[in-house]
Amino acid sequence: MGVHAGRYTAHIEGDFVVFLIGMRFNKPWKVRAWWSVASAMPKMQRELAAHPELGCLGGQQWFGRTTILVQYWRSFDHLDRFSRDPELPHLDAWRRFNRAVRDSGDVGIWHETFAVRAGEYEAVYGNMPVFGLAAASSHVPVRQGTQSAAARIGASDTDRPTLELY
């Protein structure tokens, strides 16, 4: 995963969904409480990677006391179907979590979902490997007309990058 010198942006056709999900080890010593939650995610990630038709475009994950997984989905319907389909790994993991942990306070879980309309997003990557939305869609060089964040997101017709202010 090499570094791409210069400035790049992401390009994706149509609407998409950004899904943030994670867990928090409230009582890290209670391994039995959180292990089933933590160990369920890799199985789901493998399933999504093996079946792009499920609608997950890609994502990245970070670990710590509070974990975070950022995913990009083609639509909310794709995400919702994945979460509810009894033939796919999420529903069983969710039921196991509720039986084992639910309101114990031993482990916390969270998620946030954002529906993004076509063209209503902005991204820039300077001297980075392909990352984030660009890894889930297209990684393209910043070009004339997309130098500023305001121009990339469509908030301004003027393409005056912040760098010119210095």
pLDDT of amino acid 165: 44
Integer CA distances (angstroms), 99 to 1, 111, 138, in order: 40, 19, 41
Distance CA 159, CA 151 (A): 5
| pLDDT bucket at 166, cuts 50 / 70 / 90 | very low
CATH of residue 112: 3.30.70.100
Integer CA distances (angstroms), 12 to 16, 70, 102, 120, in order: 8, 16, 37, 11
User: Count of domains in the chain?
Assistant: 1
Q: What does the DSSP 8-state code read for residue 66?
A: B
Q: What pLDDT digit, counting tens, does each position of 100-127 carry? A: 777 888 888 899 999 999 999 999 999 9
| pLDDT bucket at 77, cuts 50 / 70 / 90 | very high
C-alpha 157, offset from chain centre: 29
**Over residues 11-27, mean pLDDT:** 94
Which range of residues forms the domain containing residue 121?
1-166
| Prediction pTM value | 0.86
